[in-house]
């Protein structure tokens, strides 16, 4: 609705309308449903005439052709005058139909006076594809859910939208309308009426009985409070002489009161439209200032006072809907800000890109530090992702490695005496349980690591029942030389080699699992820090290559430790070795003299000196085998402890976890500083699309922030 009458400007609620103005000028108006006026009523009740009066522009009026689709007229205040027209397809429109409307496209004019609405309407009707006045309705539908939108902008316009909908009707006309049409139109009208941000003008002709008007009933259902329903009576000139008092009583609010009251209009009739000298204002004044209508309050008749009244109602509506609008704007603002955040900071220059990656690398390293120090309170991410709790995972896996080595490391079980068991806590745990040993405790976390890591093999219970003595006998037999009561040290080396067969697979499983732990940490941390799939993928690739090199180094170290232990000459400086050996000898003596011992009440077990003959009780060979067994046992224990420690400390801890060059330290600020320009661009550069997206989001945030300021 245009308000060109200066005396009416700003009389509704200027602050509200000014706020709407500001919302539009800051660009946020596009996202807000501005209040709209909808004109509803029966066919030919004068809806389009009322609209035309408000617009001061002729709309196609009923002359055989009633409105067959909704027309939405949107007014916008803008510095430039302009008119735009396009068709919005029905929500249920087929793709073909949408394409057809695309072809119609958008019609633009400089001003409302430049075009003939009647003519345009014919084109629109063709595009929408509904039956014309003389066409029959068997091939084309009569009504359509498409909406014709007409946008009128100019410095004089108020922000407002007006919708002219098809009139509802109760009887179908064969060849023109069907029963389905009745329901279709009614549903469409009801949908518009239900919108809480719309003011309804319920148009009823003055010469009918209002009590029977379905439209008033429907309006009452859609707006029970009645604060957005305005009654409009038309065609007072057609009221039977003598029946005027009934109409006057209605307008005065006596017959059927409405919260916002009744308004009466004298619209141009068919003849008036054809008359070039026609002056609507003059005609309405002449009409209503004559008896019996002159008893009516001036505010209740004529198009100008209706326009004024409407503006007041709209202001009230805006005020009520402002809370909603504010919530909408705030929600939009939150969503838009989150989207922008997800894109990360802008990075145009090399410095910006480097700074961005350096910050990311620093955050990554902080995460590594906290993860290794088990300082899990430092970052919320530790609660969200179990994979980041790296220290406890590594320690647990080290303990499992030690246990596996104690239980499954040796091929043959050593003979243990009761005393030896209790004195040696390491062997105490020996006993393989009933299950086979799985060398991997964790599943691979990334396909790229499959070839590097060892398979999840199983060691099954095989040789433990075989007698160790038998095995050593065989070994001795196969290797014996001309020694007298002694043995070749080579036997010890080969016995050791056989006894440690499982070490390789157990330690490979262990290192593979540690790599898995470390790699899941890297993957999880990157995914969370990057917040952008492309960036994450680029960084992952580059970190992965370097991490692979470092994983391989850990395996090389493991291989080195294994070679030293298994292929070298048995050797140790560890005093535990001799301690153990002495203990074994002690036990052998005690066992040997146990039979000749006398239990003395004062001294306990006593052996008579002459009983202690060193005469061999066993054969020479048995004696040698026993020696081999005892030495092998002592040496194996010492070597195993050394091996467990070396694998944990060197291959695992130094090369994978806490050392200075572990895979966890790949993504560091230094690493970023060494990247070439190309690499930097490849990782941190923004695609044009992201850049555009960022610009748009930033613009939206600015206008929404401005909108919040206006609304507060």
* Number of alpha carbons in the 13 Å side-chain half-sphere of residue 636: 27
199, containing H or E segment = strand 198-205
What minimum distance in Å lies between the beta carbon of 87 and ligand GDP? 19
Q: What is the pairing mode between strands 598-600 and 147-154? A: unpaired
> Which residue in the set 12, 29, 35, 41 belongs to the binding site for ligand GDP (CB under 6 A)?
41
Distance CA 340, CA 357 (A): 18
Q: What is the pairing mode between strands 262-264 and 229-234? A: parallel
What minimum distance in Å lies between the beta carbon of 296 and ligand GDP? 15
Q: Is 71 among the residues that bind Mg ion (CB under 5 A)?
A: no
What does 41 bind: Mg ion, ligand GDP, none (CB cut-off 5 to 8 Å by kind)? ligand GDP
Distance CA 321, CA 711 (A): 11
Distance CA 652, CA 250 (A): 94
Output 71 or 520, the one with its CB closest to ligand GDP: 71
Q: Where are the alpha helices (DSSP H) in 166-279?
A: 179-194, 214-222, 244-251, 270-274
What minimum distance in Å lies between the beta carbon of 43 and Mg ion? 8
Output 45 or 229, the one with its CB closest to ligand GDP: 45
Contact 390, 379 (CB under 8 A): no
> Which residue in the set 1, 12, 34, 47 belongs to the binding site for ligand GDP (CB under 6 A)?
47
What minimum distance in Å lies between the beta carbon of 189 and ligand GDP? 12
Non-local (6+) Cβ contacts of 410 within 8 A are 499, 500, 502, 636, 640
Distance CA 163, CA 153 (A): 16
Interior angle at CA 212, CA 222 and CA 233, nearest 5: 75
Q: Where are the alpha helices (DSSP H) in 385-502?
A: 390-408, 418-423, 425-428, 468-479, 489-499
Output 206 or 514, the one with its CB closest to ligand GDP: 206
What minimum distance in Å lies between the beta carbon of 108 and ligand GDP? 26
What distance, in Å, lies between the first and last C-alpha atoms of the chain?
A: 27
Output 47 or 311, the one with its CB closest to Mg ion: 47
What minimum distance in Å lies between the beta carbon of 342 and ligand GDP? 50
* Number of alpha carbons in the 13 Å side-chain half-sphere of residue 459: 23
Which stretch, 5-13, 121-129, 235-243, 417-425, contacts ligand GDP (CB under 6 A)? Answer: 235-243
Output 71 or 153, the one with its CB closest to Mg ion: 71
What minimum distance in Å lies between the beta carbon of 33 and ligand GDP? 25
Q: Is 231 among the residues that bind ligand GDP (CB under 6 A)?
A: no
Which stretch, 21-29, 40-48, 75-83, 674-682, contacts ligand GDP (CB under 6 A)? Answer: 40-48
How many angstroms separate the Cα of 202 from the Cα of each of 44, 205, 229, 261?
A: 13, 10, 7, 11
Output 211 or 271, the one with its CB closest to ligand GDP: 271
Output 61 or 307, the one with its CB closest to ligand GDP: 61
Size of the site for Mg ion (CB under 5 A): 3
What does 270 bind: ligand GDP, Mg ion, none (CB cut-off 5 to 8 Å by kind)? ligand GDP
What does 444 bind: Mg ion, ligand GDP, none (CB cut-off 5 to 8 Å by kind)? none
What minimum distance in Å lies between the beta carbon of 307 and Mg ion? 19
What minimum distance in Å lies between the beta carbon of 105 and ligand GDP? 27
What minimum distance in Å lies between the beta carbon of 271 and ligand GDP? 8
Non-local (6+) Cβ contacts of 607 within 8 A are 593, 596, 597, 598
What minimum distance in Å lies between the beta carbon of 62 and Mg ion? 6
Output 243 or 458, the one with its CB closest to ligand GDP: 243
Q: Is 214 among the residues that bind ligand GDP (CB under 6 A)?
A: no
Q: Is 44 among the residues that bind ligand GDP (CB under 6 A)?
A: yes
What minimum distance in Å lies between the beta carbon of 712 and ligand GDP? 42
Query: What secondary structure does DSSP assign to 235-260, as a single string?
Result: -GGGSPTT-HHHHHHHHTTSSS--TT
Nearest CA to 360 among 523, 525, 521, 524? 525
Nearest CA to 429 among 410, 444, 442, 448? 410
What does 198 bind: Mg ion, ligand GDP, none (CB cut-off 5 to 8 Å by kind)? none
Output 267 or 662, the one with its CB closest to ligand GDP: 267
Which stretch, 126-134, 234-242, 421-429, 620-628, contacts ligand GDP (CB under 6 A)? Answer: 234-242
342: helix, strand or coil: helix
What does 46 bind: Mg ion, ligand GDP, none (CB cut-off 5 to 8 Å by kind)? ligand GDP
Of 141-170, binders to ligand GDP (CB under 6 A) are 167
What does 375 bind: Mg ion, ligand GDP, none (CB cut-off 5 to 8 Å by kind)? none
> Which residue in the set 43, 330, 532, 650 belongs to the binding site for ligand GDP (CB under 6 A)?
43
Which residue's beta carbon is nearest to the bound Mg ion? 48
Q: Is 48 among the residues that bind Mg ion (CB under 5 A)?
A: yes
Check whether the bond before 292 is cis (ω within 30° of 0): yes
Output 185 or 672, the one with its CB closest to Mg ion: 185
Of 62-81, binders to ligand GDP (CB under 6 A) are 62-63, 66-67
Nearest CA to 515 among 540, 542, 550, 545? 550
> How many helices (DSSP H) and strands (DSSP E) are in the chain?
24, 13
Distance CA 120, CA 60 (A): 10
Strands (E), 51-191: 70-77, 82-88, 106-109, 147-154, 160-164
Nearest CA to 76 among 153, 162, 156, 155? 153
Output 235 or 353, the one with its CB closest to ligand GDP: 235
> Which residue in the set 187, 237, 384, 591 belongs to the binding site for ligand GDP (CB under 6 A)?
237
Size of the site for ligand GDP (CB under 6 A): 23
> Which residue in the set 36, 45, 52, 67 belongs to the binding site for Mg ion (CB under 5 A)?
67
Distance CA 537, CA 531 (A): 11
Distance CA 625, CA 476 (A): 7
Of 572-591, binders to ligand GDP (CB under 6 A) are none
What minimum distance in Å lies between the beta carbon of 112 and ligand GDP? 18
Q: Is 502 among the residues that bind Mg ion (CB under 5 A)?
A: no
What minimum distance in Å lies between the beta carbon of 346 and ligand GDP? 54
Tokens of 471: 């095995």
Pattern 257-296, ligand GDP, x by CB under 6 A: ---------xxxxx--------------------------
What minimum distance in Å lies between the beta carbon of 313 and ligand GDP? 21
Contact 612, 593 (CB under 8 A): yes
Q: Where are the alpha helices (DSSP H) in 344-388?
A: 350-372, 381-384
Note the residues at the interface with Mg ion (CB under 5 A): 47-48, 67
User: Which residues contact ligand GDP by CB under 6 A?
Assistant: 41, 43-49, 61-63, 66-67, 167, 234-235, 237-238, 266-270
């Amino acid at each position: 609705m245009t308000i060109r009458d200066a005396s009416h400007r700003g009389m509704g609620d200027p602050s509200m309308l000014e706020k709407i103005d500001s919302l539009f000028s800051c660009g946020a108006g596009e996202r807000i449903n501005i209040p709209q006026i909808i004109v509803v009523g029966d066919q030919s009740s004068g809806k389009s005439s009322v609209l035309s009066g408000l617009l001061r522009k002729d709309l196609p009026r009923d002359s055989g052709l009633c409105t067959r689709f909704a027309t939405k007229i949107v007014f916008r205040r803008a510095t430039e005058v302009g008119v735009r027209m396009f068709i919005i397809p029905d929500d249920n429109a087929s793709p073909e139909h949408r394409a057809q409307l695309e072809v119609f496209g958008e019609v633009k004019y400089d001003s409302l006076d430049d075009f003939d609405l009647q003519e345009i309407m014919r084109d629109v009707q063709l595009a929408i594809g509904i039956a014309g006045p003389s066409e029959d309705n068997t091939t084309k539908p009569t009504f359509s859910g498409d909406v014709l939108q007409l946008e009128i902008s100019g410095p004089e316009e108020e922000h407002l939208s007006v919708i002219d909908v098809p009139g509802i009707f109760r009887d179908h006309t064969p060849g023109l309308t069907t029963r389905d049409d009745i329901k279709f139109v009614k549903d469409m009208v009801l949908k518009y009426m239900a919108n809480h941000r719309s003011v309804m003008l319920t148009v009823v002709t003055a010469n009918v009985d209002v009590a029977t008007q379905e439209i008033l009933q429907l309006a009452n259902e859609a707006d029970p409070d009645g604060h957005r329903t305005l009654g409009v009576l038309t065609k007072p000139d057609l009221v039977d002489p003598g029946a005027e008092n009934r109409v006057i009583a209605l307008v005065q609010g006596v017959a059927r009161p409405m919260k916002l009251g009744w308004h009466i209009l004298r619209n141009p009739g068919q003849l008036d439209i054809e008359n070039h000298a026609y002056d609507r204002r003059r005609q309405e004044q002449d009409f209503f200032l004559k008896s019996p209508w002159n008893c009516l309050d001036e505010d209740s008749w004529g198009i100008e006072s209706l326009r004024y009244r409407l503006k007041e109602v709209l202001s009230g509506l805006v005020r009520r809907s402002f809370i909603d609008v504010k919530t909408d704007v705030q929600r939009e603002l939150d969503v838009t800000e989150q989207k922008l955040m997800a894109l990360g900071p802008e990075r145009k220059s090399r410095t910006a890109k480097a700074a961005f990656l350096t910050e990311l690398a620093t955050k990554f390293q902080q995460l590594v530090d906290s993860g290794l120090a088990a300082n899990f309170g430092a970052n919320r991410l530790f609660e969200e992702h179990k994979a980041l709790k790296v220290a406890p995972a590594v320690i647990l896996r080290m303990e499992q490695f030690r246990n596996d080595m104690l239980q499954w490391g040796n091929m043959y079980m050593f003979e243990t005496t009761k005393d030896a068991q209790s004195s040696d806590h390491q062997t105490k745990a020996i006993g393989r349980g009933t299950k086979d040993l799985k060398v991997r405790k964790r599943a691979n976390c990334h396909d790229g690591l499959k070839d590097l890591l060892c398979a999840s093999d199983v060691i099954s219970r095989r040789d433990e029942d075989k007698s160790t003595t038998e095995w050593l006998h065989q070994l001795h037999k196969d290797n014996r030389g001309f020694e007298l009561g002694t043995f070749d040290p080579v036997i010890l080396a080969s016995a050791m080699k056989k006894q440690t067969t499982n070490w390789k697979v157990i330690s490979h499983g262990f290192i593979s699992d540690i790599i898995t732990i470390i790699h899941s940490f890297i993957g999880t941390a990157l995914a969370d820090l990057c917040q952008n799939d492309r960036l994450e993928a680029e960084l992952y690739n580059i970190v992965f290559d370097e991490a692979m090199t470092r994983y391989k180094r850990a395996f090389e170290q493991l291989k080195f430790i294994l070679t030293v232990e298994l292929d070298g000459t048995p050797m140790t400086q560890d005093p535990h070795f001799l301690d153990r050996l002495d203990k074994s000898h002690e036990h052998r003596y005690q066992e040997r003299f146990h039979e000749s011992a006398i239990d003395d009440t004062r001294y306990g077990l006593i052996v008579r000196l002459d009983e202690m003959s060193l005469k061999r009780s066993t054969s020479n060979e048995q004696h040698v085998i026993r020696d081999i067994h005892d030495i092998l046992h002592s040496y194996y224990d010492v070597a195993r402890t050394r091996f467990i420690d070396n694998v944990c400390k060197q291959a695992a801890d130094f090369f994978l976890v806490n050392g200075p060059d572990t895979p966890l330290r790949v993504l560091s600020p230094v690493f970023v500083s060494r990247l070439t320009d190309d690499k930097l661009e490849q990782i941190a550069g923004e695609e044009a699309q992201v850049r555009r997206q960022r610009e748009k989001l930033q613009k939206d945030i600015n206008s929404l922030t401005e909108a919040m300021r206006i609304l507060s």
